């Protein structure tokens, strides 16, 4: 669908309209979604868990007992997704929840023995995916990419 020109405006053609695919945020979003699909396939195959569940498991494994709000902040996931993933992990015996001693209404999630085993098993799968994904990049390119992503995340902190 070609946008209609306003009276007096020059006619727009598909070639004169900027394409969304040319913008960096869109390119990053598409790449992130594709990586997420690869991760989801591998995680489902290796652990029978969703990417959301593994993100929650990873956050708790990395940081220790966390509240659902802290997990949402750490993973950039919305609270509903964190809640569903957490409930599933508790039901599967990978997370245990308890009252937050600092907040009577809050709760903390921590790894169980089973959750610790799965968390430890995630690393080799992630390393394999990362190696496959970055195989065509030189060390300098990978270092630059990591640095640029860090800078973009810092900028996002100021935008949010």
Q: What is the pLDDT of residues 23-66, one digit of tens each?
A: 888 899 999 989 888 888 888 888 888 889 989 999 999 999 99
Write down the pLDDT at residue 6. 55
- Residues of the chain scoring pLDDT < 50: 1-2
Identify which of 91, 81, 87 has the alpha carbon closest to the alpha carbon of residue 51. 81
Give the CATH number for residue 119: 1.10.10.10
Percent of the chain scoring above 90 in pLDDT: 57
122 found inside a domain: yes
Write down the pLDDT at residue 59. 95
Which pTM was predicted? 0.72
Straight-line distance from the first to the last Cα atom of the chain, in angstroms, rounded to the nearest whole number: 33
56 found inside a domain: yes
Domains in the chain: how many in total? 1
Tell me how far apart the 2 most distant CA atoms of the chain are, in Å. Answer: 70
| Alpha-carbon span 109 to 97, nearest angstrom | 5
Domain coverage including residue 105: 20-133
Write down the pLDDT at residue 106. 85
63 found inside a domain: yes
118 found inside a domain: yes
157 found inside a domain: no
């Amino acid at each position: 669908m070609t946008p209609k020109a306003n009276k007096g405006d020059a006619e727009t053609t598909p070639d004169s309209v900027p394409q969304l695919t040319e913008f960096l945020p869109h390119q990053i979003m598409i790449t992130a979604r594709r990586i997420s699909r690869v991760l989801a396939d591998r995680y489902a195959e290796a652990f029978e868990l969703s990417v959301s569940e593994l993100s929650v498991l990873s956050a708790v494994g990395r940081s220790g007992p966390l509240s659902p709000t802290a997990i949402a902040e750490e993973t950039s996931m919305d609270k509903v997704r964190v809640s569903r993933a957490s409930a599933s992990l508790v039901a599967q015996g990978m997370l245990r929840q308890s009252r937050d001693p600092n907040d009577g209404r809050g709760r903390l999630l921590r790894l169980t023995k089973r959750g610790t085993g799965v968390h430890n098993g995630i690393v080799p799968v992630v390393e394999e995916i990362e190696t496959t994904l970055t195989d065509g990049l030189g060390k300098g390119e990978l270092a630059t990419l990591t640095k640029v992503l860090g800078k973009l995340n810092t900028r996002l902190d100021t935008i949010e």
